[in-house]
Structure formats: C-alpha cells, structure tokens
Structure 1
Amino acid sequence: MMIYYIFMDYQFLDDRVTDKFQKKLSVLAAVGPFTDGFNEFGASTALLAIAVLFHLSAIMSSLILASYWIGVGAGGMIGGIFSDKIGRKTLFVYDTIGMGVFALISAISFSGTFFFFSRLLLGFFIGIDYVAALPLISEYSPIKDRGKQLSFQKFFFTLGALLAIGEGLALTVLVGVYLAWRYIFITAAIPVFILFFLRKSMPESLRWAVENGKEERVKSIKKRLNNYGIKVNVDKNDLGEETSIKDNIKKFFSRPNARALIYIFWLGTAYSMTINLVSVYEPKFLSDLGATSTLSLLGSVISAALGLLGTFIVMITVDKIGRKNIGVAGFILSSIPMGVMYVAFTLHFATLPLIMSMFAIFYFINVGTIGTLQYVPAAELGGTRNRGLSMGWDKLWEFPTAAGAFALYAFLGPINSVLFDTIMPVIAGIILYILAIETKDKSLEYIEDETINENEEAHTFKDVEEE
C-alpha cells in the first residue's frame, strides 16, 4: 500500500493523485447537491398541485417558491460562520438529519403555511451542507484535480434536478399530479438518511484542525487517513491558534479580500440574472407555440439533460482550461442561442423545434459553464479560517438575485426578456474578465497569501514541480 507523507506546507496532500479517499469523500459530499437539485426542481411538480389543494393565490405560490432559496441563503451564511468556527465534519454529518426530516415534512404538508415553513427549513439545512461539504472537499483535493472534484458537486446537482423532473413526469402519469409531489419529497429524504451513517467515517478537515490548533482532532484525523494509506506528520509546533467568530468575519470582509468578495458576488448574480429566464419562460414560450403541458415538461427534461452534459464537459476540463477562461467564454457564448431566439420571434419564423433547441443549447452552455463555476472559486478563495463563510457568501445571493430576475422578466415581458438575455451575458463576461481571480494550479495557501493575506511568498503547483 502506497503511503503519502503530509507536511504543513501540504505539498504531499496537494500533489498526490486522486485516490480512494478523495473519491469517496467527493461522492458522499455530492449527495447534498443532488438532494438540493432534487428538492428544488421537485417543487415545480408540487406547485402544480398545491395551488389547487391549498387554495393558494399567485403571491403565496411565489412566496413558497422563494422560501426554499431564502432558507439556503440563511443556512449558507449562518452555517458558514459555524463551519469556520467548530469545523466542517460536525455540520457535514448532522445537517443530513435536517435535510431528511424536512423533506418528509414537506411531503405531508396540509396547508400553504405549513409547506412554506417546511421548505424554508429544508433550504436552511441544505445551505448548511454546502458550507461544510465544499470546503472539506477543497481542503483535501489534490491541486491538479481540485476543480474537477468541486465541479463534480454541480454534476450531481444537475443529475438530481433531471431525475426530479423525470420522476415528476412519470408519477404525474401514474398517480396524478395531486399525489406525485408528495412521493418526490419522500424519495428525496431516503438518500440523506443513509448518508448520515456513511459520512461519519470521513475525517475532519486537516487544514482546519491544524490552523485552529485542535490537537486531539488532528490525532483522530491521522488515524482515519492512515486507513486510506495517507500518513500525516504533524508536530505541535505546526498547530495554530483558534480565532473568534468576530475575527474570522472581520478578516473575510477586510479590504484585501474585496476583489474576491465582488468576484464571487458577480459570478452568482450574473448567472442568476440569465439562467432564470429558462425556468420562468420556457414553458410559456413552448405553450404559446402549441406545445402540450407534457411536451413542455419534456422540453425541460431535454434542457436539464444537456445541462448535465455541459457540466460533465466542464468538470473534466476546468483544471486544464482554467476557471476564468471557462467563465468568460460561457457567458459570451450563452448570448448566441438567445440572440437566435430573439431574431426568430421578431421576424416571425419561430417554431417549436427551433425554440426548444435554443433553450436546450443555452442550458448546455450556461449551466455547464457558469453554473458549474459557482461551486469552484467560492470554495477556493479566502482562507481556511473563513472558507465556509466564502461559500455562504455565494449562497446568500441566490434568492435576492433570482427575485430581481423574476421581477425584471415580468416588467420586460417575454420577448424583451430574451433580448435582455442576449445582451446581459456579454456584459457579464466582460466584467468577469476584469474581476476573475484564476485559481488553477495554485495551492489554497498560495491563493490565501495572494488575496486575503496580500503575501507574495507562495508557490503554485508548477513552481513546486520545478523546484
């Protein structure tokens, strides 16, 4: 069995191949985003039924839809603070209970108010899961595969969304829409209850434990990693000192980290302002062109399937092409299918196959590139003491930017919204080119020194190889 020696420059952790331990950690973490995608897109089937069952107004239906994202944002920020304070593993294990319980409670909802709060709390625990799981993956991943390991989480999110839409379509046919949504949420609860037991075998983040001076936890980590053939050599002199929540937050929002904060904010905001057009108007456009409700749902399945393919392609190329290049290209290329749609509608040659194709291509590009990147830089930037908060900062903007997008689309109307989605990605790509911080081939310590610490004495993966 091969043994790896890990010193406090983390070179042997950073330079090792992606091994059994890393693969297991990534899969166990990815069930969280899978559950997120399943629950988020499962709501589309639910909303068809609960508006009738619970006699909901359009406003209340919208609030229920928004409650999930509010929960994710709140869970991300609050959970991020505690992920940096008490460690990744505790949240990584026990948030699964909340995810499972509130999925089941959503399934037995008997009123709009009950469903609102169950969705809110479900989103809260899923938000917590992101800020525990992604920093944990980032802090263990080899440098040359870190983007791939983080992108794998988005792949599972998209897979969950696709399966939720497919299950919704199948169950609607088999048992009717008024029961289908309940089965979807029951299905969503099953894997996370199993996950509770499986995640217990994973260690705490070595980087977090060392930096916060957690000697007993380091000993436990050493034993667990040794089972996977990874030998950890930590001296007491390597241990840092624990800092307060106040100090962690202050450092995260310090001036040296301003560019990273703006970069993470813009990446998520610009994505939300463009991708939500598909979820809002795709069924309407297809319906106006004569599509049945089943065909419209099938269009969503095709778009989600191509989004999954796009995510897979980015997952296997992100560590070669780089985060910045993928992000800029993704935004600018997204404008092409939207431009074709706008011309087709204004010149009156729009057809059902053409519009379905353009939506699917847009989803392939936009979700595959920008959507996947939402899982990468936020988990790499900042420092070990505030990486959870960095992920929380990313999740915080999901609801307000999505709500802003919905309001803007309503104001502009369908055709002008397509024009907006033609122009906005180009603007977003240019701004991203200015803001982006490339993290490819860099250790987390180098990134921290380069940004939040403003220290140039660090080494990239390539530098280490040359030395």
Structure 2
Amino acid sequence: MNKSYTTFISLIVALGGFLLGFDSAVISGAVKGISIYFNMTDEMLGFAVGCVIFGAMAGNLMSGYFADKFGRKSTLIVIAALFVISATWSALATNYTEFIIARIIGGVGIGGAILIAPIYIGEVAPANLRGRLVSFNQLNIVLGISVAYFSNYFLVNYGEESWRWMLGVEAIPALLYFLFLFLVPKSPRWLVQQCNKVAAAKLTLERIGGKEYADQTINEIQQNINLSESKGRLSDLFSSKYTTIMIIALGIAFFQQITGINAIFYYAPTIFEQAGGSTDASFLQAIVVGLTNLVFTLVAIALIDKLGRKPLLLIGTSVMTVALLMTTFAFNKATYSFSEDNMAKITNEETKQLLQPLSNNTYNSQTLLFNAVEAQLSKEQFIDFKRNQITNLISINAPLVLISILLYVAAFAISLGPVMWALISEIFPNKIKGIAISVVGFFNSLVSFSVTQIFPWELSNLGPTLTFAIYAILSLLAFLFVAKYVVETKGKSLEQLEQLFLKTK
C-alpha cells in the first residue's frame, strides 16, 4: 500500500479545508473594523458575518451536481478560484453591498470545499486509512482557523483599515491551492461510475495500492454499479430504504452546528471581551482557541480508525455539555458595577455623562443591566454600549470562561468536527451520493447560518448566561441522538457500507 502517495494527494485536496477554516475565522478579527467602516447595525453585522454561510448553502446545492457531472477534481479547481476572487474583492470593498457579494462568493467556495474534498478523499483512500485521511480535511479546517487567529493578531494594529489586510491575505493560499490541484488525479471511482474509464481509474488505484488492490477495487465498483438502479434523484432521499442513512446524516449535520461551534469561532474575541478582556488579550485568547482546536483534531485523527466514529462522538458531546454548563455558570455569577473606577473606563464622554444616575449601582445579570442602561441612552448609544462599553463594567471569573471554552472546543475537535465529515463521506450509496451530500451540506450550512446570524442578538438580548445554557441543552440532545441512531462504520469499504445500510431496511 503506497501510503505516501495517498497521503500526498489527500493533503493537497484537504487544503480546501484550510481555506474554509481561514475564511470562516478571519472575519472574527475584522468584526469591529467592518462594523465601523460600513456603519452596521446588529442585524447588518450578523448578516455580514453569516452571509458567507448563506453563500455556502448555494455551494452545497450546486457542488454535488457539478462534482458528479464534471468530476471532483474539476469542481475543486473552480472552488479554489472562487476563494481567490472572494479574498481579493472583500479586502477592496468600499460599500456594504459590495462587501456582502464578495463574502457570498467565498461562501460558495466554502459550501463546495466542505463537501467535495471529503468525497474525493473518501473515494481514493483505502478502507483502513479512510477515516484518518478524510479527517485531514477537518485538520486543515482547524489549521486555517488557527492561522487566521494568528494573522488577525499580528494585523490588528496595522492601520485604521487593518481588516482589509486580514481578509485579503487569504488570496495567497487560495492561489496556491488552485495550482496544486492540477497535481492530483481524478477520482478513480468517479472515472468508473460516471465515465466508464476503467483503464485510467486502474492506473491511479495501482499507484495507491498495487495491482491486486486495483483489480479488487475495480471489481467491487463494477459489481456495485451492476447492482445499482438508475441515477439517484431528490425524491429518492425520502425512500424508506434510505431512512436510516438520512436520519444519521441530517441529525449529525444539525447537531454539529446547533451546538454553537461557529458562534465560538466567528465571535471568539467578542466573547472574551464580554468576559472583561482587552482587545489584545481577547485576540490572544482566540489564538489559544485555534491551537486547542488544532491539537485535539490531531488526537481525533489518531483515534478515529482505532477507537471508531461513535465512541468519539459520545465522548465529545458529553464533554461539550459539561463545558457549556461551566460557561453558563461563569456568566451567571458575573456582576456589572458602575463603580467610580469602572465609570472612568467608559470611553464615550457623552455616554458617561448620561449614565451618571447609575453611579455605584451593581447588577447581577446582563438583562437587568441593559434594562437600566437602555432607559438612559439613545438607540445608537445603547448599541455602542452593548458592543464596546459593557466590558468595562463586568466582574467575572475570566479564567473559568477561557477554560470552559477551550474544553468545549477540544471536545468538538475530537467528535462532531471531524467525525461528521468522515460519516457523510461513507454512508451514502453511490446512487444518491452526489445529491444527498448536497442536501445534507445545505442543511448543515442553513443551521450554521441561523446560529451565526442570531448570536449577536442573543448576546445583546438574552445575555451570555441563557445563550450558553441553550447550547448546553442542545449538546446533551446531541449525545442522546448519537447513542440511539449512529452506526459504527470503521474498517469497512464503501461498497460494504452500502450493503450494510441498505440491509437495515
């Protein structure tokens, strides 16, 4: 088995995950800059951050079709080009509409990369390496997130419009990805199933595992084609024989996002500022979040083909629940004081004067604080207070917030992060794989968009205590779902898995 060659092509394709992660996280550092430059309301800011997922939903829907029709490799090359365009344009944008369009283009790239890269890797990887190699995509996602946090930290003081540099630097790895993709072969399974190019597929498979492996794999693919019916349609997904598969896929796709991971990644500095940190300290803590994600994704890669998919999911979702309860506890115990020292920290002089009637008052919840402050300020001043001034008043166990967030990210990184994409690349039969992956990816992005869109509103209106309590409940539900529905897939070929799942109906 030529592990080095398989690993090489898998790493190249997984660079799409790096761009996905970078593009997703880099906006966290640009939030304050773009909100000021484009004069955004809470709703506009939520959409500016979340619109990339809106674009991803379009990419989800289109990428499966194009990957089946034109090939996985060709589709990935187009995706790389979209990342180049988006990074360059968003960095140069001069108005809100232009910025949104540029970000949505990048979102289309994200929606394609997050689905097609795992499919390609899953189709070229031998069964005993598939979980690990597919997880390279998640590893690159978290590596991209970490690099974005580092990049933001070093660029945050790079002039008044440092956000342009933060967003624009992505064009460099995007261009490299575009060029490197020309070095990888076309998927052998796609060549046989879609084009009947057996000889070309056999050459790639021989390079991966030798002649015997190539002959066996070609034979399995052809037998599977003979057993399959006509090409899958959207209506097929609702057939009773696919019920088990769709419950697993849609359920995991839902819980991966509804438990709040992208709220953490997109708004990490904002969360740490809510816990009383300075801007520089919050960016440093975001870097630690990214590194934690990276380290524990490596742990997941080491364990996924040994321990299995389901055990990792059970461990991860249970620890996520505990971590989110810790975060809830920390914010619930926070107090907000208008002491003389805290009042002196408020940077807006007009706001400071209007808040003088609240001097020496202390509030035990953010809701009570906002009710008192809103009565003293105009709408614009209140928005500024919630975004920029509240951190001057809070007294909280900040180390507990940091530890609980890191524990949550670590638990996600060994479970829902990489395992979802490994499962999605494995469980769908060839007949419906393209369209099913698109539908599940679209659903996953829709949930993610909803979470990131409402998170600023949740912090402002529900407060962090209730927000994180909701995520804790959802994480517990994720644990229960995994325990009841998820089926172990490690060590089986794609053709064996197809027979296994279809026999369950």
Length-normalised TM-score, structure 1? 0.85
Show CA shifts across 1:225-268 (max 9, x none): 55667444468x94858999973434344222122222222212
1:201-350 matches, cutoff 5 A:
201-212=183-194, 214-215=195-196, 217-224=197-204, 230-231=210-211, 232-233=214-215, 238=222, 240=225, 247-274=232-259, 275-279=261-265, 283-284=269-270, 286-347=272-333, 350=396
Residue 74, structure 1, aligned to residue 58, structure 2 = yes
2:272 is aligned with what amino acid? Answer: L
Show CA shifts across 1:392-438 (max 9, x none): 23321244323443547456421122222333212210112112121
Aligned match of 2:180: 198
Structure 1 SS opposite 2:107: helix
1:444 is aligned with what amino acid? Answer: L
Change (3 A) 1:81 1:294: same
Give distance in 2, aligned partners of 1:47 and 1:311: 26
Question: Structure 1 stretch 337-346 or stretch 404-413: which is displaced more?
Answer: 404-413
1:435 is aligned with what amino acid? Answer: Y
Question: Structure 1 stretch 438-447 or stretch 403-412: which is displaced more?
Answer: 403-412
Give distance in 1, aligned partners of 2:326 and 2:185: 50
Q: Is the 8 A contact 2:269 2:283 kept in 1?
A: yes
Change (3 A) 1:156 1:18: farther
Give distance in 1, aligned partners of 2:109 and 2:14: 15
Change (3 A) 1:53 1:437: same
Aligned match of 2:360: none
Give the C-alpha shift of residue 369 in structure 1: 1.7
Structure 2 SS opposite 1:438: coil
1:417-436 matches, cutoff 5 A:
417-436=467-486
Give the C-alpha shift of residue 177 in structure 1: 5.1
1:47-62 matches, cutoff 5 A:
47-62=31-46
Q: Is the 8 A contact 2:117 2:137 kept in 1?
A: no
1:59 is aligned with what amino acid? Answer: E
1:340 is aligned with what amino acid? Answer: M
Give distance in 1, aligned partners of 2:23 and 2:2: 30
Structure 2 SS opposite 1:376: helix
1:427-446 matches, cutoff 5 A:
427-446=477-496
Give distance in 1, aligned partners of 2:177 and 2:210: 24
Give distance in 1, aligned partners of 2:13 and 2:184: 10
Percentage identity across aligned positions?
A: 23
Give the C-alpha shift of residue 315 in structure 1: 0.8
Change (3 A) 1:28 1:388: farther
User: Number of paired residues?
Assistant: 435
Show CA shifts across 1:281-320 (max 9, x none): 7545533443111111212111121111111101110111
Give distance in 2, aligned partners of 1:134 and 1:454: 25
Q: Is the 8 A contact 1:310 1:369 kept in 2?
A: no
Give the C-alpha shift of residue 333 in structure 1: 1.3
Q: Quick one: which of 84, 89, 94 aligns to 2:73?
A: 89
Q: What 5-or-longer segments of structure 2 have no aligned partner?
A: 335-394
Change (3 A) 1:281 1:48: closer
Q: Is the 8 A contact 1:97 1:192 kept in 2?
A: yes
Q: Quick one: which of 133, 138, 145 aligns to 2:122?
A: 138
Q: Is the 8 A contact 2:185 2:204 kept in 1?
A: yes
Change (3 A) 1:59 1:269: same
Q: CA RMSD, aligned part only?
A: 2.8
1:318 is aligned with what amino acid? Answer: I
Q: Is the 8 A contact 1:211 1:242 kept in 2?
A: no
Length-normalised TM-score, structure 2? 0.79
Residue 176, structure 1, aligned to residue 159, structure 2 = yes
1:199 is aligned with what amino acid? Answer: L
Aligned match of 2:83: 99
Structure 2 SS opposite 1:319: coil
Aligned match of 1:463: none
1:218 is aligned with what amino acid? Answer: V
Residue 37, structure 1, aligned to residue 21, structure 2 = yes
Give distance in 1, aligned partners of 2:252 and 2:209: 38
Structure 2 SS opposite 1:375: helix
Give distance in 2, aligned partners of 1:106 and 1:280: 17
Aligned match of 1:360: 406
Give the C-alpha shift of residue 155 in structure 1: 0.9
Give the C-alpha shift of residue 110 in structure 1: 1.4
Give distance in 2, aligned partners of 1:281 and 1:291: 14
1:379-398 matches, cutoff 5 A:
379-398=425-444
| Structure possessing the higher radius of gyration over alpha carbons | 2
Q: Is the 8 A contact 1:75 1:127 kept in 2?
A: yes
Aligned match of 1:454: 503
Change (3 A) 1:346 1:139: same
Give distance in 2, aligned partners of 1:103 and 1:414: 32
Change (3 A) 1:298 1:220: same
